[in-house]
Amino acid sequence: MLIMKTKNKLNYEVTFEEAHVYEFLLYVDFIYQDKKYNARANYTNDGWGMDNVEVYDCEDNYMDDDIIIEIANDAIYNMNINKETITW
């Protein structure tokens, strides 16, 4: 149970919330050994999970280094997804 108040000071009670999203497009920037990288992946919410992980350096070069990909996978998997990180 969550008691909320609108900007016009109207009180209401939230009794249920759910968001079902079929696909997430995930982006994360990280630094490893003083180099900047960005990674992106798709997460499909139908049992397929995360796939299509791509990593690029700051000059937009595709990275296929196993260590960089491991870091990117970990960073994406451990993202803090909340209302500040979601683009509506």
What is the structure's pLDDT at 69?
A: 92
Read off the pLDDT of residues 14-60 as tens digits, 9 standing for 90 and up: 888 887 778 888 999 999 999 999 999 998 887 777 878 899 999 99
Contact, 45 vs 24, CB < 8 A? Answer: yes
Structure tokens of 31?
């630094």
Q: Check: pTM over 0.85? Answer yes or no.
A: no
- Which residues neighbour 31 within 8 Å (Cβ) at sequence distance 6 or greater? 37
49-57 and 35-44 strand pairing: antiparallel
What is the structure's pLDDT at 14?
A: 84
Calculate ∠ Cα 52-24-80, nearest 5°. Answer: 105
Domain spans of the chain, in order of start: 21-88
Contact, 11 vs 3, CB < 8 A? Answer: yes
